[in-house]
Structure 1
Amino acid sequence: MKIILSPAKKMITDTDSITPDGLPEFIDKTTEIQKWLKSKSKEELKTIWKCNDKIAEQNFNRLENMDLYHLLTPAVLSYEGIAFQYMAPSVFEDSQFEYVQNHLRILSAFYGVLKPRDGVTPYRLEMQVKVGIGETKNLYEYWGDLFIAENSIENPEDIKGFKRLGYAFRPDLSSEIEYIFERKIETMTR
């Protein structure tokens, strides 16, 4: 069984709790994205990140000082979203870390697919971003082969069956050469 989570926008650095097991598997592709982001101006990045000035400044500084190889936090400890809070990895015992390491994967626009103990650094990037890395138009396309490989998809028509993380194929928005998936955002009531 594999459990797949989306990352959270809010991230922390925790280099004291546990040591990462290693680097993300697709660190070379992450390096390409990092170079692409660093080639953008502050205003372009603010537009890409869709955030206010304070968050843009924080993430611009993170990007300027980003080291993908040192002072890393295990991925499962770095994200502060609700799913990660409820999972409470900071109080895991060794057997629980072993279980999530074998069964949990985090889909990341910046890192691709992460194992829980892969070392990461804080970043801000969402899959919807339009990128010009190589011949790709967006991050879904950039990471697409990687996600499709997980399901051994060979027929492009089978991609339409992808239904994870709240995403569903939208035939009304798609064409024969471009498939559009939409994620439903659940609203919380108080």
Structure 2
Amino acid sequence: MIALLSPAKTLDFERALPPLDVTTPHFAEEACSLAKSAANLSQKKLAELMHISPRLAKLNAERFRDFPDLPERPALFAFAGDVYTGFEVDTLDEAGVAFAQDHVRMLSGLYGLLRPLDAIRPYRLEMGTRWAPRHKKLTDWWGDRIADLLRTQLAQDEAKVVLNLASQEYYAAVAGKLGDARVIDVEFREPGPDGPRFVSFNAKRARGMMARWMCEHHIIKVDDMRGFDSDGYRFDADESDANRWRFMRA
């Protein structure tokens, strides 16, 4: 089983790291190529493409310009958005991190597909960006490469199951391209005045908590993931089917 996560816009390259055996991203050369092409974009163009402020456009223009010389950090310890707040990697033991390396993957606009200990440099390039070298959008540039790699990694798992905890924007890079793999889409809801409701911030944190729960308990059978119970969530059998699972928060 492989759990798929989206990356984060927010990064942390400052906090201390435990001793780690860092790995190299499979698409490291592609990332450098994309960064080199993006370095030709003006700050104004970056602001328009990414819908960001001039300050952030300047920061990311500098990142693309200096990309080969930027510091590196394992992806799971570099991403710091809501999903990774929920994952809390800093409190996960060494065995849990090793399990994550084998069973968690992060989709990335720049790096394609990342293992938790793959070394990345600071960047911002969302999968939904409508720009890419010689293509109209980034998903077209990646084509089938990300899905091909993921299928290869799934081939090592007899069950060939993907627990999809990624956003629609990122999952679009592999949607419909995973062959005979079983994909389980997970959604998180909580009580509201008009019935179950989706709260983006809480759902993002829950995605990270579920991936962390899997690694903490070394879950290898996907049906055991129905036991996820962090932060008051419970599996809602009545609102779920075989490949779409709903978890309700108490």
TM normalised by structure 1 equals: 0.75
Measured in 1, the distance between the counterparts of 2:75 and 2:163 equals 24
**Deviation at 1:72?**
0.9
Q: Matches of residues 1-190 of structure 1 in structure 2 within 5 Å? A: 1-14=1-14, 16-18=16-18, 19=20, 21-67=22-68, 71-134=71-134, 136-149=135-148, 150-151=150-151, 164=164, 165-167=166-168, 186-188=198-200
Which residue identity lines up with residue 140 of structure 1 in the other structure?
T
**Deviation at 1:123?**
0.6
Runs of 4+ in 1 over 3 A off after TM superposition: 186-190
Q: Which has the larger radius of gyration?
A: 2
**Deviation at 1:15?**
7.4
- Helix, strand or coil: the match of 2:144? helix
**Deviation at 1:90?**
1.5
Structure 2 stretches lacking a partner, 5+ long: 153-161, 172-186, 188-197, 203-250
Q: Do 1:59 and 1:123's aligned partners in 2 also have CA atoms closer than 8 Å?
A: yes
- Helix, strand or coil: the match of 1:128? coil
Q: Do 1:20 and 1:118's aligned partners in 2 also have CA atoms closer than 8 Å?
A: no
Structure 1 stretches lacking a partner, 5+ long: 153-161, 170-183
Q: Do 1:131 and 1:138's aligned partners in 2 also have CA atoms closer than 8 Å?
A: yes
Distance 1:43 1:105, change over 3 A: same
- Helix, strand or coil: the match of 2:143? helix
**Deviation at 1:20?**
5.3
Q: CA RMSD in A?
A: 2.9
Q: Do 1:20 and 1:73's aligned partners in 2 also have CA atoms closer than 8 Å?
A: no
Distance 1:28 1:122, change over 3 A: same
Q: Do 1:32 and 1:133's aligned partners in 2 also have CA atoms closer than 8 Å?
A: no
